[in-house]
Structure 1
Amino acid sequence: MDWVESAGGPLVVMRKENSLDWGGVDTDDYDEACGVSDFAGVISREWGDVLVLGDEPLRTSVIHRGDGVALVRWGAAPDEDCLIKVALGVDLSSMVPSEILKPVHLNGTLVVFDAGAPGGDARRLEFTLTSRVGVVRTYVVNDAEKDVQLILHQLGG
């Protein structure tokens, strides 16, 4: 499984075609991204929305659950397999989201990368959404039995 990390700041998610417009640490882009103190936030640009993964700079990956695409952020786990099993198996319908973020206007081919890097130079994860994201629901998952903590951002309509 591929993961992306930051150098200490937030990660950003945006349309791949717009990523070259992201200026990184030497611009207002990074300053605004760092202003997101919640688990997630949206900043708007003339070329589209940017989903900012705030709070802590955690390793992040993309998973495909039965209920759609989600971003999983590694809080703590004995190993990757254990973390992914919990992320894929958790019943979100029995949980209350820690945050609900809307509206979020993202669709198509998206990239996740370090907000501090210029979009053209950043190490990134790429994934495709077949439908538009309208809402991002954030869940903090703690599985004490498996010693796993993670944040799950469910990308949905």
Structure 2
Amino acid sequence: MPMKARPSVLHTWVQSAGGPLIAVPGSELNDWAGVDDNDGPVETWGDYGRACAVEGYVGLVVVGAQHALVLGDEPAMTTYLATERLFVRWAAADSETELVAAARRVLAGEPDWDDDEDLRWEVREPVVLFDSAIPGAEVEPGDRLVVDLDPGEYRVRATSTKDEDNWMILVHLQPTS
């Protein structure tokens, strides 16, 4: 059973039941089948298996005529900071306020982006972030976060970072033009 998005005072956080999250272009939602069979190894579980096959924090999978961004490795609760174009994935923190502030501090400094977590993603429209186990046609409003991105190409970089009180995975979207 998928976890509900967790609204808060500041942000909406999307949760996973244990697998990766995925940001699918809105017009391609009906093409995402989620888990269509759970017999055999996870890699054979339909679209969900394709998302699980992504190694590392980020990867791309084809959905319809476009690519979707997989946020993998950890089933961490995730939100999006639009001003910073930053997915913040909650690994450990005492509060949302402290975690978001810490993420902004890291981004304002010189983040140590992982060299293996760097890709290009072409975006044509807003994307919908949700648990990749759910079929896109069945994603309820409380299970998703719509991310309104400007069309264009983005450099996607990721890193895991922590300070004394916060541990997070950051995924930054940087326009290439």
TM-score, normalised to structure 1, is 0.89
Q: Distance in 2 between matches of 1:115 and 1:101?
A: 21
Superposed CA RMSD: 1.6
- Judge conservation of contact 1:25–1:118 (CA < 8 Å) in 2: yes
Q: Note the residue ranges of structure 1 that are not aligned, 5 or more in a row.
A: none
Question: Residue 33 of structure 1 aligns with which residue?
Answer: 51
Q: How many Å separate the matches in 1 of 2:109 and 2:99?
A: 19
Aligned counterpart, 1:79:
95
Change (3 A) 1:34 1:59: same
Q: Are the aligned partners of 1:58 and 1:75 in contact in 2 as well (CA < 8 Å)?
A: yes
| Alignment match, 1:135 | 155
- How far 1:44 sits from its partner (Å)? 1.9
Aligned: 1:20 with 2:30: yes
Larger % of strand: which? Answer: 1
Give the whole-Å Cα distance in 2 for the aligned partners of 1:109 and 1:131: 8
The superposition leaves residues 35-65 of structure 1 with CA deviations (integer Å, 9 ceiling, x where unpaired) of: 0121111112342101111101000001134
Indicate the SS of the match to 1:30: helix
SS at match of 2:19: coil
* Cα separation, 2, equivalents of 1:119 and 1:77: 30
Structure 2: give runs of 5+ residues left out of the alignment: 1-10, 37-44
Q: Which one-letter code corresponds to 2:29 in the other structure?
A: S
Please tell me whether residue 43 in structure 1 is matched to residue 57 in structure 2.
Answer: no
Q: Following superposition, which runs of at least 4 residues in structure 1 exceed 6 angstroms of deviation?
A: none
Given that 2:33 and 2:136 are in contact with CA atoms closer than 8 Å, whether structure 1 keeps it comes out as yes
Q: TM-score, length-normalised on structure 2? A: 0.80
> Counterpart of 2:98 in structure 1: which amino acid?
C
Distance 1:117 1:125, change over 3 A: same
Whether the aligned pair in 2 keeps the contact of 1:133 and 1:155 (CA below 8 Å) is no
Gap change, CA 1:3 and 1:91, over 3 Å in 2: closer
SS in structure 1 of the partner of residue 90 of structure 2: strand
Alpha-carbon distance in structure 1 between the residues aligned to 2:78 and 2:158: 14
Equivalent residue pairs, number: 153
What displacement does 1:28 show? 2.2
Q: Deviations over 1:12-36 (max 9, x none)?
A: 0121111121001115211111101
